[in-house]
Amino acid sequence: METVGTTDLIELEGVEKVFDVRKKTGFLRRERHQVRAVDGISFTVPRGEMVGYIGPNGAGKSTTIKMLTGILTPSGGRLRVAGIVPSRERTRLAQRIGVVFGQRTTLWWDLPLIDSYRLVHRMYRIPDARFRENLDRCVELLELGALLDVPVRQLSLGQRMRGDIAAALLHDPEVLYLDEPTIGLDVISKAKVRGFLRDLNTQSGTTVLLTTHDLTDIEQLCERVMVIDHGRLMYDGPLAGLHEVGESERTLVVDLERELPPMEIESARVVKVEGPRQWLAFPAAQSAAPLVARIAARYPMADLSVREPDIEAVIAKMYAEKATS
């Protein structure tokens, strides 16, 4: 059937989404203008890959996800998921994809968690044996055993997110879309969710596309990252390469034993001084070890920590460069 034989599960070619926006310009006057939320995006995702899809708010991330799930109809370009054109066969595609919207639970608020799964079981027409098998696996890996009989309204945010992820996987989707799966979660919950996703991807070979604000999600889960801004794909490649492309910098925070004038160290520069604490910026692609050694040799160092570059800053810088070049 269709393109089942090919390895690319998700295919986009010059996909566009243009919105008509009406803006108030006077008491009754409105002006129409077009916003290109997604402006010609092309990429493919092979089966079994785990890809991070990042970008600032309003960059076109969720518009892309909505087109990939069939919620929105593209204004132009070609788009296929598992060989299906999402906007044309939305309900058929629904059987083959799983979607988790980070801030919108699909679980039933007043009912025990298990009831939501029973609905999924019947709505997706999952064969009984397969449903039990998948449920058991999710319950075990996501540690849901004690929660199945608890009404969803009594679950914590982290528990609910795990519950939502399970709900999206019971029908064995080939692709899982995750929209901000770790937003608002505590550190332990984040670790649990990430661990599960990693296992899911490596063990079951489920293709995962995730959008996030949390760079750690990407670092721990995705070998490939795509950056979108102003509706365009700015970067598509490994995470390490993103730092190089963005020429971003990491920060070394050094606590000295006493207040000193700004340190002088090659290949790094002091960007801030606050009492005995000094901030040094150095290229993200460069290792911190020799830098630390150099500082330790010349200055009385009490403590230090490394800060990763802020994703928004990296993207902002990338965009600024693209605009000037």
Partner 1 sequence: MADLTKTRAGQAGQPGRAGPPGQEGTGRLAQVRSGLRAYRLISAMWIRSLMAYRLSFVMSALGNFAVTAFDFAAILLMFSQVDRLGGYALAEVAFLYGASCTAFGLADLALGSMDRLGRRVRDGTLDTLLVRPAPVLAQVAADRFGLHRLGRLTQGALVLTYALVVLDIDWAPLKVLMVPLMLVSGAGIFAAVFMAGAAFQFVAQDAAEVQNAFTYGGTTLLQYPPTVFAKDLVRGVTFVLPLAFVNWLPALYVLGRPYPLDLPVWTAFAPPPVAVACLALAGLAWRAGLRSYRSTGS
CA 104 to chain centre: 16
Task: Calculate the CA 133 to chain-centre distance.
Answer: 28
- C-beta of 127 vs 275, nearer to partner 1: 127
Among 36, 11, 15, smallest CA distance to 231 is for 36
| Closer to partner 1 by Cβ: residue 69 or 248 | 69
Minimum distance from residue 157 beta carbon to partner 1 (Å): 17
* Closest distance to partner 1 from the beta carbon of 254 (Å): 44
CA distance 31 to 175: 40
Pick the closer one to partner 1 by CB: 96 or 213.
96
Q: How far is the CB of 113 from partner 1 (least distance, A)?
A: 13
Where helices occur in the chain by DSSP H, the ranges are: 61-68, 90-94, 113-123, 128-141, 157-169, 187-199, 215-221, 239-245, 289-298, 311-324
State the Cα angle at 125 between 123 and 127, rounded to 5°: 140
Judged by CB, which is closer to partner 1: 64, or 248? Answer: 64
End-to-end CA distance of the chain: 45
User: Smallest distance from the beta carbon of 56 to partner 1, in angstroms?
Assistant: 18
- Provide, rounded to whole angstroms, the least separation between the CB of residue 235 and partner 1: 25
Residues in the chain: 325
| Shortest separation between residue 162's beta carbon and partner 1, angstroms | 17
Binding site for partner 1 (CB under 8 A): 1-2, 4-5, 19-20, 47, 63, 66, 69-73, 75, 82-83, 87, 90-92, 94-97, 99, 101, 104, 106, 108-111, 115, 119, 122-127, 130, 137, 151, 171-172, 174, 199, 203-206
Task: Dig out the tokens for 186 from the structure.
Answer: 């505590």
- Strand (E) positions, 164-276? 175-179, 207-211, 224-229, 232-238, 249-256, 269-274
Q: Which is nearer to partner 1, 152 or 256 (CB)?
A: 152
Q: Closest CB to partner 1 among 167 and 233? A: 167
